[in-house]
Amino acid sequence: MGRHELTKDRRRGRRGSVLLGSVLGAAAVLLAAGADVYPVADREEVKPADDAGACCLEIVAAVPGFSPDIAGGDGEGVITGRLTAASRLHTRSRFLPAGVAPERGLQIRTILAARSISDEFPQIHQIGGVRPDPLPWHPNGLALDVMIPNPGSAEGIALGDAIVAFVLKNAARFGMQDAIWRGVYYTPQGAHRTGAGHYDHVHVTTTGGGYPTGREVYVR
């Protein structure tokens, strides 16, 4: 090989080294530029939360001369009391709104039971009340039929059992006389099997407490 050929090879080698160095340098720049793909967001100043207790309180001015009948509070059933203060402090959550049961013709303790069941079990969408019947309980506003969704399923049976347990737990407040569910007759004194059926709803009977006057307030 001649001297000219060696010189050409050396030049080609230098050009290859320079080209390789340029490529590697450009790659390094790209890697450096792409290293911060997910920039760290600026830290936001943590603000103290508002007092949680203030959200549920309301000052309500008393109506002069108004004496509400309070149904259901603290197991007392129906209490009549006069508001003597110019204002009173209460929590909104203490008062029971109307539930899914039609209340026309129901007596006070039956209404309290119906509202309480609706409040405790939002999965209940239908509660029957007053209707024609040979027995006096439904026509006189003393009974409820709490309809159970999918009553034959495990979930439906468990829901019916829970409603019976809830009614028994609140027997004094509701003036509970009895409940019937899946062939079992329940009273505050105990339970025994009957042939009464009731496989698609829980039947609840109360002692009534009289018909409402429109002045009642139902509380948890």
* Structure confidence by residue, pLDDT tens digits, 204-214: 999 999 999 99
Backbone φ and ψ for 71, nearest 5 degrees, come out as -105, 125
Residue 67 structure tokens: 């004496």
**Domain spans of the chain?**
55-218
pLDDT band at 50 (very low <50, low <70, confident <90, very high): very low
> Bridge partners of 219?
95
Q: How many residues does the chain have?
A: 220
- Which pLDDT band, with edges at 50, 70 and 90, does 162 fall under? very high
Alpha helical stretches, state H, 122-181: 154-169, 171-174
Output the six-digit token pair for 131.
């209707």
Residue 73: predicted pLDDT: 55
Residue with the larger pLDDT of the pair 133 and 72 = 133
Residue 80 pLDDT: 40
Higher local confidence (pLDDT), 150 or 47 = 150
Check residue 65 and give left, alpha or beta (phi > 0: left; psi -120 to 50: alpha): left
Q: Which residues fall within 8 angstroms of residue 35, CB to CB, at 6 or more apart?
A: none
Q: In which band, very low, low, confident or very high, does the pLDDT at 199 lie, cut at 50, 70 and 90?
A: very high
**pLDDT score for 195:** 84
Neighbours of 220 (CB within 10 A): 16
Higher pLDDT, 160 or 11: 160
Q: Decide which of 178 and 43 is more confident.
A: 178
Q: Which residues pair with 217 in a beta bridge?
A: 70
In this structure, of 3-12, 65-74, 85-94, 102-111, the range with the lowest mean pLDDT score is: 3-12
Please report the pLDDT score of residue 38 as a whole number. 36
Question: Which CATH architecture is the domain 55-218 placed in?
Answer: 2-Layer Sandwich (3.30)
